[in-house]
Amino acid sequence: MQLLLVDIGNTSIKLAFADEHGIESVYSLPTKVQHSVDSLGLSLRQLLSLEKKDPADISECALCSVVPDVASMFKRACIRYLQRHPLNFPEDFALVLKNGYRHPHEVGADRLLAACAARMLYTEPPSIISVDFGTATTFDCVSGDTYLGGLICPGLFSSRNALAACTAKLPLISLDVSEPALVIGRDTETSMAHGFLFGFAAMTEGLCRRLKMQLPLPAFVLGTGRDAQSLSKICSAFDAVRPDLLLEGLHLFCTRRIHV
């Protein structure tokens, strides 16, 4: 079994090649460019060549998207260039959790997939909090076999970009975690970097602590997304970090044949 797994977010398109045992390799494309069906299809062909795979090797495609127009193009690219009709989350899968959102259709596919993946990977904790650091920072709560909902907060990099765009003198800075402890910034770059990084770490710790007060304990906190691994160096909230949780979730749904 050879799988193509796709997570289409607002900032990036993550693609993974996988087999029945797990994810083999992950690639990333920018979302906010002028994609076309052919540009996406040719990108797929290039990645397949890089992996030394043939389009006929792909037995199944599955995607999760929060960008409908890109998802539509990607589906057509899969059909045209791979001769595969991709499965779409959540429509084509049987959910492993009850959706407890007040208006279930309003839940983002990425949030729901993260919650399902977290529960499939960690079956024992009474509660799970999945924290996804993407364009937005989302906190999604699972109690037993029910997705409860959560919180939507600003994203680390989108906040940095907004601040640089809306101020005359503040620069666009790097947000690499290079120091394990907070320092008082004595220059603008350090002041901003530590303000953002340790501010988001403190926000994560504080919100997880408050969410746990409303959940059956113990509650397991799982970090995911592009910045989770980096922030885990300075944030004490996480019990585990899985940067590619959404792709892992698609892999579990496909390999366990949890289809509608």
Catalytic residues: 110
| 12 closest CA partner among 30, 36, 25 | 30
Question: Long-range contacts made by residues 108-113, C-beta under 8 angstroms, separation at least 24?
Answer: 108/66, 108/138, 109/64, 109/65, 109/66, 110/7, 110/9, 110/64, 110/66, 110/134, 110/138, 110/246, 111/138, 111/140, 111/150, 112/147, 113/64, 113/89, 113/246, 113/249, 113/250
Which residue has tokens 């069906």? 37
